[in-house]
Homo-oligomer: A and B are copies of this chain.
Amino acid sequence: MLSTMQDVPLLISRILTHGSTIHGSSQVTTWTGEGDPHRRSYAEIGARAAQLAHALRDDLGIRADDRVGTLMWNNAEHVEAYFAIPSMGAVLHTLNLRLPAEQLAWIVNHAADRVVIANGSLLPLLAPLLPHLRTVEHVVVCGPGDRSLLADASARVHEYEDLIAAKPVAYDWPELDERRAAAMCYTSGTTGDPKGVVYSHRSVYLHSMQVNMAQSMGLTDQDTSLVVVPQFHVNAWGLPHATFMTGVNLLMPDRFLQPAPLAEMIERERPTHAAAVPTIWQGLLAELTVRPRDVGALTQVTIGGSACPRSLMEAFDKLGMRVCHAWGMTETSPLGTIARPPAHVTDAEEEFGYRLTQGRFPAGVEARLTGPGGERLPWDGASAGELEVRGPWIAGAYYNGPDVQPLRPADKFSEDGWLKTGDVGTISPDGYLTLTDRAKDVIKSGGEWISSVDLENALMSHPDVAEAAVVAVPDDRWGERPLATVVLKEGASADFETLRAFLAEEGNIAKWQLPERWTVIAAVPKTSVGKFDKKKLRGLHKSGALEVTTLAPQVRRGAESPAAD
């Protein structure tokens, strides 16, 4: 039996129209690094987004489904592009300016972007790339920067402001199927080619509602949000869309992401909320320690991207900025969990424990844990498995071209359509997620999992150890066993037996999880974003470049599985 309700699609154009009328006086403030920041009302953003859509359609020939790339910082023009491009039926493709040039070129070519809108300050990055971008016909430049860098470009070059200046300030946004593509973002996986996630109007709309729920970020037009997390990074965690639903004022740092200007923004513009990865906050904390500022307005800080250290959370608490942990990934739009403690908690230490988890799943995100053998694990706070999630703002495939069936690699999506996150962790009975490892780094030993991260943390708490990385290596009997690679502090002399005993006694590591294989290295190899490069370590081991000492096993030889001991 059908309902009698109206069939109104959930479209990004509706978010724009709502924000630019009902909340027309809310503001997007962009930091300029000198003098007053630049301010633009939501009503103006709405008018200029319409102008941009006219220009893209009439002057640059953009049609439905065409991809338009943005190589931009967080600023008002990027917000305009966020709304104009999907609302007109085209697809916004945000480009991660931190990627290696060749990966960036690969991504633009794979998405077949016809236009790239770029900030002038990023032309030194774009100009040498352009000859390799096979599909880009137009470059639209906005904001300060040396245009002469594009003198030799074969693509046509336009000034953003000139392009939109004479265009009508209203656009008859098309009624689209809400499942149509709205925006895309590539993950920069360390293995294989980058994978494109294509968000729909529906997924963006629903994700925005979720972000605005009181139990989530829950901002209103009384708030100003400092969006440090880049707009090229999973839609800036959905904030530009969510804020246009409720009139939250946006404070955009543009390219001024250093601790000093961030501290100045917070003091001068008094945001009530901010969102960024832990590294940014570490820098800000150091800055505030050296040069204290009035940060009194900023009471809510959302941290995601990687786990927030306890010390950082405590330091921020002392400054009155309450940290709220969140977890997500490109494939989850990204909001997958948010760490608001449950109502029944009154004990401060217990509350802190909840805040250090990745958080609780909101309505709309279903979760399950899968063990090494594919079995479902209970939500008991102890059983560790790979996290799989399902929901209307979660990817079920990767982009494979506009008219081609999307890719569903079996290591990324289950047969029944759930996303395999590649994250390993536990879920408590009340739905709080604690991540312990990446699935690819976990050691699968005799049908059980050993957490590389647990071993590393235990090792690094030994006074003689500077750094330690643990990777899986093949083992005839158990499938895989851990290899401990250790960087000793200068002058330190701990031997492997001592370290292994320390793991068992001080680190609380079960006997069957203790590594037999050990090696000393000069430094742990790192990825471009500073994470341990375990792929490289495994490669070094495979090639025989590491000199491995093998201790007598602590695992009982007759056991069916190492855990039996």
CA of A19 to CA of B212, assembled, Å: 18
Give the docked Cα–Cα distance between A203 and B219 (Å): 23
Question: Across the interface, which residues of B come within 8 angstroms of A245, CB to CB?
Answer: 213, 363
The answer to whether A360 has its CB under 8 Å from any CB of chain B is yes
B-chain residues with CB within 8 Å of residue A343 when the two chains form the complex: 26, 220-222, 247
For A90, the closest partner residue in chain B by CB is: B1
A215-B210 in contact (CB<8A): no
Q: Which of A2-10, A141-149, A290-298, A537-545 contacts B (4 or more CB under 8 A)?
A: A2-10
Q: Which chain A residues numbered 441 to 481 have a C-beta less than 8 Å away from chain B? A: none
Does A181 touch B at the CB level, under 8 Å?
yes
Chain B positions within 8 Å of A360 at CB level? 22
The residues in A between 6 and 62 inclusive whose CB is less than 8 angstroms from any CB of B are 6-8, 10, 14-15, 17-19, 21-26
Q: Is the CB of B2 within 8 A of A363?
A: no
Contact yes or no, B406 A4, CB < 8 A: yes
State whether the Cβ of A198 lies closer than 8 Å to any Cβ in chain B. Answer: yes
A394 contacts B6, C-beta separation under 8 Å: yes
Q: Which of A367-410 contact B (CB under 8 A)?
A: 379, 390-399, 402-403, 406
The reply to whether B21 and A431 form a contact with Cβ atoms under 8 Å apart is: yes
- Flag if A361 contacts B3 (CB, 8 Å): no
The answer to whether the Cβ of A202 comes within 8 Å of any Cβ in the partner chain is yes
Q: A200-B3, A214-B220, A218-B214 are in contact. Are A392 and B8 (CB under 8 A)?
A: yes
Does residue A344 face the partner (Cβ distance < 8 Å to B)?
yes
Bound-state Cα–Cα, A418 to B438, Å: 50
Q: Report yes or no: A363 in contact with B15, Cβ–Cβ below 8 A.
A: yes
The yes or no answer to A533 lying at the interface (CB within 8 A) is: no
Contact of A5 among B19, B23, B392, B403 (CB under 8 A): B392
Contacts of A197 in B (CB 8 A): 4
Q: 1/0 contact trace for A194-209 toward B, CB 8 Å? A: 0011111011001011
Q: Which of A24, A196, A209, A396 has the most CB of B within 10 A?
A: A209
Residues of B within 8 A of A283 (CB): none
A340 touches B2 (CB 8 A): no
The distance from the CB of A554 to the nearest CB of chain B, in whole angstroms, is: 39
Number of chain copies forming the complex: 2
When distances are taken between beta carbons in the complex, the residues of chain B under 8 Å from A19 are 363
In the complex the two chains form, is A180's CB within 8 Å of B430's CB? no
A417 within 8 A of B: yes
Structural contact, A397 and B4, CB atoms closer than 8 A = yes
Name, among A25, A26, A364, the residue most crowded by chain B CB atoms within 10 Å (CB to CB).
A364
Which listed residue (B91, B340, B379, B398) contacts A1, Cβ 8 A? B91
Residue of B nearest to A417 (CB): B6
Query: By CB atoms of chain B within 10 A, which of A3, A209, A379, A406 has the most?
Result: A3
A288 to B394, CA, bound (A): 50
By the criterion CB–CB under 8 Å, are A209 and B220 in contact? no
Tell me if A363 and B8 are in contact (CB < 8 A). Answer: no
Contacts of A429 in B (CB 8 A): 24
B residues near A218, Cβ cutoff 8 Å: 213-214, 218, 220
B395 touches A6 (CB 8 A): yes
Interface residue A65 (Cβ < 8 Å from any Cβ of B): yes
Q: Which B residues lie within 8 Å of A363 (CB)? A: 14-15, 18-19, 22, 208-209, 245-246
**A180 engages B3 (CB within 8 Å):** yes
Contact of A396 (CB < 8 Å), options: B6, B208, B220, B340: B6
Output the residue of A363, A379, A391, A398 with the most chain B CB within 10 A.
A363
Centre residue among A1, A222, A247, A398 by max chain B CB count within 10 A: A1
The 5 closest A-B pairs by CB, nearest first: A3-B200, A6-B396, A22-B431, A214-B218, A245-B363
Q: A1-B181, A213-B246, A218-B218 are in contact. List 16 more A-B contacts (CB 8 A).
A: A1-B403, A3-B181, A3-B182, A3-B203, A4-B397, A5-B199, A6-B419, A7-B179, A7-B392, A8-B391, A17-B366, A25-B344, A25-B430, A209-B210, A214-B246, A245-B363
Which residues of A does B touch, CB under 8 Å? 1-8, 10, 14-15, 17-19, 21-26, 65, 91, 179-182, 196-200, 202-203, 206, 208-210, 212-215, 218-222, 245-247, 340, 342-344, 360-361, 363-364, 366, 379, 390-399, 402-403, 406, 417, 419, 429-431
